[in-house]
Amino acid sequence: MSDERARLFVALELPDDARTTLLRWRARHVDEHAALRPTPPASLHLTLCFLGWREVAEIDAIAAACARVGAACDAVRLSLAEPVWLPPRGPRVLAVELVDQAGGLAQIQSALSGALAEGGWYRPEQRPFRAHVTVARVSKGARVRRVVLRAPPPHPLLGSTVTLFRSRLARGGARYEPLRRIELGQG
Ligand code: 2AM
């Protein structure tokens, strides 16, 4: 792939303590499963909009649109919830859902989706937004239907950073490079 294009997505970052809780839970209940490849700790995030391949020349405008949305949104209170296999039939990832009780995260996602679509950089998803953090990927050909997992502790967290990432595909798995970090509610 040429350097002219970049694979982009926007995600909510997790505070360190929530990340630690997830990693501890994963070490106790998930890492033993040979069919699962754990997400590297630095790659644990909650994806809001996956843009796919865009022109590198568009990155500044995309980042500016994300910053405008972020400035108008407050940080969001969330809580770690149940582990889920996604998609439910023929799962490719193990994720942990997040409870967005006050709906603040859904509002940010919807505002970002609208702004990025308006800029012509994003095609909004048809399926409803499902807040989750991918904690492991299912190895090719592996079956995980019978694997039953305990939920992590219901850890409350404040999501305050939305980041535009570039995903660099590599043999050992994608590497995510932050291009612009936006602190919520700093407008
Ligand atoms: P995930 O949140 O379920 O892990 C970078 O690839 C991030 O964008 C990942 O966190 C990934 O999903 C998310 N994503 C959403 N849609 C995607 C798609 N069609 N292809 C690749 N990644 C996608």
**Closest ligand 1 atom, residue 133 Cα:** 2
Domain spans in the chain, listed from the N-terminal domain onward: 5-183
Reduced 3-state DSSP string for 39-91:
CCHHHCEEEEEEEEEEEHHHHHHHHHHHHHHHHCCCCEEEEEEEEEEECCCCC
Residue 9 Cβ contacting ligand 1 at under 6 Å: yes
**61, two tokens:** 């405008």
Pocket test for ligand 1, best of 50, 123, 163, 164 (most atoms within 8 A of CB): 50
pLDDT of residue 2: 53
Residue 10 Cβ contacting ligand 1 at under 6 Å: no
Query: Is pLDDT of 1 > 70?
Result: no
**Closest ligand 1 atom, residue 134 Cα:** 4
User: Is the dihedral angle over the CA atoms 60, 66, 68, 70 positive or is it negative?
Assistant: negative
Strands 36-38, 175-183: pairing is unpaired
| Mean pLDDT value of segment 37-53 | 96
What residues have CB less than 8 Å from 141, skipping those under 6 apart?
Answer: none
Residue 47 Cβ contacting ligand 1 at under 6 Å: yes
**117, two tokens:** 């679509």
Task: Give percent of the chain above pLDDT 70.
Answer: 97
Enter the pTM of the model. Answer: 0.94
Is the model more confident about 44 or about 146?
44
Residue 69: name the closest of 133, 162, 143, 157 by CA.
162
Amino acid at 166: R
Domain 5-183 has CATH 3.40.50.720: no
